[in-house]
């Protein structure tokens, strides 16, 4: 090579110099190779760590709709006012320069500058120590931000304060992130802001979705509620420098279908400079909106049921109501009273934790209650299937202590009957709700047969709701009842009138009455009809949940069911029936025949003291071809009547709404044709 000639020249000194030079250049080359080729990855990741910040962008949460597409939960835009610290940087500097102490000094320019006309007096910044500079910088920053906040406070006519500590902390840690000073502005405030501030003034609106429930407390227990939760969920990036607020559902539909509603959070990559200010943003993984959940609930029936409870028992009533389609298992309404605000934080904590009201409990699915007499139809079915002649008369004995009451002796124990003594056949026993009749015939049929039938109804098991708020209820197993050492006739007698070692949820009763009404199919209740993409044009397929999923068959003959239907119909149609009054009030034009059963269960604490009553009305209609099951339960500490007087009127109102809807649909069909 031309330039390396010297290495060959016969000049030992120059040759040595050339060799040293070549060696030096080789060292640099090797060093560069090491840094730029071998370790390039390491330094590139260094660069990324110091120059990039990732921001978690929550997805837009899916809506919750009723079966007719009416919105029960959605998002509304919420405007927050934030300081953008990077836009304020110049202001910080200006304020700093303004605050800096100055001193007037005499200039001593070089002589040629004096000839050129330099002035002798100039202002100099007074020297400051490092800590003074730091304190002044901090002061300048706070002044600028605080002035801006004060200015906004005047414009928006709302007192706003800037906490110096919090402000400095944010500045030191994430100056690229918006610093929120006012959240959820009113429309009026937004308008005033837009009039007075422009982009780049260091303060701006940022938009975040807020969950909103247009019908307030309607179906609140079913919908569930959200909790602030910014953490990454499974399948997302785990590490972010900054997270925008996000929420997750805890219970109810919001909780049970959180995975679908929540969507997939995205990632924004933010390039920042050495001061930590934003330079550019780039969404590297856009958030994917959550799906909508379409419920089987009918908003009209739901609200009618809620209003009926409130109208008859007051807003603070501890009650539950369920309306179910007996063929599909669709839950058309599910009410738990007293209601809560689905925006959980808006509830008064004292109210939420009220030990008596317990508003957080979804009574429709999570409360365990003694069913009382509404369990008698199940006992009756078992007896009819095992040879009970419905026309056979059972004579209820008169209680010697209270002769106007009947009673029955089981072993050495005396069990009071609410009905007067006399002759009872199956129909009259259901209609009047005779304990003695069902204890006598239950014992005759045998507890095992009744337990076996109850097993088919799946008492003592969850119905399989996705809402994370379901209890299994209590029911003795076959093994328990067959163990004669621990199970006695008295225990069986209690079961036969729906007391003792058993408890149900209103949902279990709705499923059971639906099974009786539909000819024996125990269905899985369906709360969610389908899950569909939020954007219908996205092309993603909706997931439909099958209706009418049969969990079990009770295996009861048509004849027994018809006998039971007939007896239950008399409860509302025979003037002596306990539900008659509710369904025959003045002005009632209910054009539907309802098979019902009333119940009143005494609640005892562990020491056997009476602590309250559970009132029930369980029913299905229409009698000719049942389509709806309606179960109403009301709790009370004091006796306020009977299932017929407390719950049946609520059920009546619910049926009224159901009929109104049916007529409207029929009218529509007629109109269309």
Partner 1 sequence: MVNPSINERGPKLDALQLVALALLMFIGAMFVYSATMANAPASLPWYDQSWVRQIIWYAIGLGAGTALCIVDYHILARWSFVAYWATIFFLVIVLVPHIGMTHGWGARRWIDLGPFQFQPSEFAKLSFILAAANFLSRPPDELKQAGIFWKGIGLMLLPFALILKEPDMGSALVLIPTGLVMMFVAGTPKKYLLTLVVGVGILGALVLADILFAPPALRIKMQDYQRQRLLVYFGANFADANATPEQKAEARRLQAKSSYQGKQSLISVGAGGFFGAGWRNGKQTSLQFMPPGAAHNDFIFSVIAEEEGFVGSVVVLTLYAVVLFTGLRIAGQARDRLGKLVAVGVVTLLFSHVFINIGMNIRIVPVTGIPLPLLSYGGSSVLCSLIALGLMQNVHIHRRGY
Contact positions vs partner 1 (CB under 8 A) = 2-6, 9, 11, 13-14, 16-18, 21, 24-25, 27-29, 31-37, 39-40, 42-44, 46-47, 50-51, 108, 110, 112-113, 271-275, 279
In whole angstroms, the minimum distance from the beta carbon of 92 to partner 1 comes to 16
- Cβ nearer to partner 1, comparing 274 with 609: 274
634-638: list long-range contacts, CB under 8 Å, 24+ apart: 634/309, 634/313, 634/317, 634/318, 634/319, 635/318, 635/319, 635/363, 635/369, 635/603, 636/318, 636/612, 637/356, 637/611, 637/612, 638/612, 638/613
Residue 533 CB, nearest approach to partner 1 (Å): 39
Distances (CA, A) of 247 to 227, 234, 526: 5, 14, 26
Closest to partner 1 by CB, 31 vs 403, is 31
CA 523, CA 94: separation in Å to the nearest integer?
73
Helices (H), 157-217: 164-173, 187-196
Measured from the CB of residue 17, what is the shortest distance to partner 1 in angstroms? Answer: 6
- Least distance from partner 1 to the Cβ atom of residue 104, Å: 19
- Give the nearest distance from C-beta 113 to partner 1 in angstroms: 7
Helix (H/G/I), strand (E/B), else coil: 388: coil
- Under 8 Å CB-to-CB from 355, ≥6 apart: which residues? none
In 3-state terms the chain splits into helix, strand, coil percentages (rounded to 5) of 40, 25, 35
H/E segment holding residue 299:
helix 299-313
For the chain, the first-to-last Cα distance in angstroms comes to: 100
Q: Which is nearer to partner 1, 26 or 191 (CB)?
A: 26
CB atoms within 10 A of CB 94: 12
Least Cβ distance, residue 95 to partner 1 (angstroms) = 20
Closest CA to 72 of 169, 239, 215, 204: 215
Q: Closer to partner 1 by CB, 107 or 196: give it.
A: 107
DSSP letter for each residue of 56-108: EEPPPPPPEE-TTS-EEEEEEEEEEEEE-GGGGHHHHHHHHHHHS-EEEEE--
How are beta strands 64-65 and 292-295 bridged, if at all? parallel
To partner 1, the closest distance from the beta carbon of 204 in angstroms equals 23
Please, what is the minimum distance in Å from the beta carbon of residue 12 to partner 1?
10
Of residues 37 and 121, the one with the C-beta less far from partner 1: 37
- Whose Cβ is closer to partner 1: residue 2's or residue 401's? 2
Computed over its alpha carbons, how large is the radius of gyration of the chain? 38
Shortest separation between residue 34's beta carbon and partner 1, angstroms: 8
Which CB, 114 or 664, lies closer to partner 1?
Answer: 114
Place of tokens 């954007």: 535
- The residue to which tokens 């602590």 are assigned: 611
Residue number, 88 or 601, with CB nearest to partner 1? 88
Nearer to partner 1, 27 or 199 (CB): 27
Closest separation between CB of residue 18 and partner 1, Å? 5
**Cα angle, residue 412 at apex, residues 410 and 413 outer, rounded to 5°:** 60
**Which CB sits closer to partner 1, 34 or 444?**
34
CB 5, min distance to partner 1, A: 6
- Residue 24 or 536 having the CB closest to partner 1: 24
Q: Which is nearer to partner 1, 102 or 665 (CB)?
A: 102
Closest distance of CB 339 from partner 1, Å? 54
Quickly count: other Cβ atoms within 10 Å of residue 252's Cβ.
27
Nearer to partner 1, 86 or 532 (CB): 86
Angle at 268 between CA 264 and CA 273, to 5 degrees: 160
**Range 491-514 burial, b when 16+ CB lie within 10 A, else e:** bbbbbbbbbbebbbbbbbbbbbbb
User: 585 — phi, psi (to 5°)?
Assistant: -75, 160
Nearer to partner 1, 172 or 550 (CB): 172
CB of 270 to partner 1, least distance (A): 12
- Three-state DSSP at 263 gives coil
CB of 128 to partner 1, least distance (A): 14
Helix (H), strand (E), coil (C) string for 539-603: CCCCEECCCCCEEEECCCCHHHHHHHHHHHHHHHHCCCCCCHHHHCCCCCCCCCCCEEEEEEEEE
Smallest Cα–Cα separation from 69: which of 198, 184, 207, 214? 214
For residue 264, what is the DSSP state? B
């Amino acid at each position: 090579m031309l330039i390396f000639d010297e290495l060959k020249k016969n000049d030992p000194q120059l040759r040595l110099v050339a060799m040293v030079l070549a060696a030096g250049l080789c060292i640099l080359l090797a060093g560069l190779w090491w840094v730029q080729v071998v370790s390039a990855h390491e330094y590139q990741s260094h660069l990324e760590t110091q120059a990039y910040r990732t921001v978690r962008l929550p997805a837009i949460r899916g809506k919750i709709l009723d079966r007719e597409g009416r919105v029960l939960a959605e998002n509304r835009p919420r405007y927050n006012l934030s300081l953008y610290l990077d836009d304020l940087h110049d202001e910080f500097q200006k304020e700093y320069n303004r605050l800096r102490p100055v001193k007037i000094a005499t200039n001593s320019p070089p002589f040629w500058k004096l000839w050129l006309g330099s002035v002798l007096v100039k202002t100099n910044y007074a020297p400051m120590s490092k800590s003074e500079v730091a304190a002044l910088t901090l002061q300048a920053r706070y002044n600028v931000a605080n002035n801006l906040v004060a200015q906004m406070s005047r414009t928006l006519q709302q007192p706003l304060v800037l906490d110096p500590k919090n402000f400095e902390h944010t500045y030191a840690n994430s100056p690229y992130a918006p610093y929120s000073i006012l959240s959820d502005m009113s429309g009026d405030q937004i308008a005033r802001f837009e009039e007075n501030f422009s982009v780049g003034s260091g303060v701006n609106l940022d938009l975040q979705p807020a969950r909103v429930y247009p019908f307030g407390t309607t179906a609140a227990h079913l919908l569930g509620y959200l909790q602030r939760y910014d953490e990454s969920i499974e399948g997302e990036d785990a590490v972010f420098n900054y997270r925008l607020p996000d929420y997750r559902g805890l219970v109810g539909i919001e909780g049970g279908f959180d995975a679908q509603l929540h969507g997939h959070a995205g990632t924004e990559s933010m390039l920042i400079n050495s001061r930590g200010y934003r330079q550019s943003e780039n969404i590297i993984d856009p958030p994917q909106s959550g799906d909508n959940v379409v419920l089987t609930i009918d908003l009209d029936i739901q609200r009618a049921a809620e209003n009926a409870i409130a109208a008859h028992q007051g807003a603070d009533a501890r009650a539950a109501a369920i309306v179910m389609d007996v063929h599909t298992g669709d839950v058309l309404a599910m009410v738990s009273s007293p209601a809560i605000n689905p925006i959980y934080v808006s509830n008064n904590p004292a109210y939420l934790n009220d030990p008596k009201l317990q508003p957080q409990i979804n009574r429709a699915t999570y409360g365990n209650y003694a069913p009382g007499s509404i369990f008698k139809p199940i006992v009756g079915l078992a007896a009819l299937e095992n040879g009970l002649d419905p026309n056979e008369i059972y004579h209820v004995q008169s209680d010697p202590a209270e002769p106007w009451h009947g009673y029955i002796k089981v072993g050495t124990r005396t069990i009071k009957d609410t009905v007067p003594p006399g002759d009872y056949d199956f129909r009259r026993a259901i209609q009047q709700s005779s304990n003695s009749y069902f204890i006598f015939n239950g014992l005759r049929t045998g507890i095992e047969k009744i337990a076996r039938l109850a097993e088919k109804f799946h008492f003592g098991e969850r119905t399989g709701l996705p809402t994370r708020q379901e209890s299994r209820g209590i029911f003795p197993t076959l093994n328990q009842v067959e163990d004669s050492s621990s199970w006695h006739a008295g225990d069986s007698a209690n079961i036969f009138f729906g007391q003792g070692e058993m408890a149900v949820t209103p949902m279990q009763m709705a499923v059971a009455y639906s099974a009786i009404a539909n000819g024996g199919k125990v269905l899985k209740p369906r709360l969610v009809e389908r899950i569909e993409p939020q954007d219908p044009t996205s092309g993603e397929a909706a997931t439909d949940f099958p209706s009418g999923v049969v969990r079990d068959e009770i295996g009861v003959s048509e004849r027994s069911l018809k006998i039971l239907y007939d007896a239950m119909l008399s409860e509302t149609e025979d003037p002596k029936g306990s539900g008659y009054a509710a369904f025959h009030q003045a002005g009632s034009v209910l054009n539907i025949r309802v098979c019902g059963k009333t119940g009143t269960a005494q609640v005892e604490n562990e020491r056997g003291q009476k602590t309250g009553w559970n009132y029930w009305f369980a029913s299905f209609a229409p009698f000719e071809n049942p389509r709806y099951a309606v179960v109403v339960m009301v709790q009370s500490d004091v006796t306020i009547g009977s299932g017929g007087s407390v719950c049946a009127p609520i059920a009546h109102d619910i049926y009224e709404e159901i009929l109104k809807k049916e007529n409207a649909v029929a009218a529509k069909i007629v109109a269309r044709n």
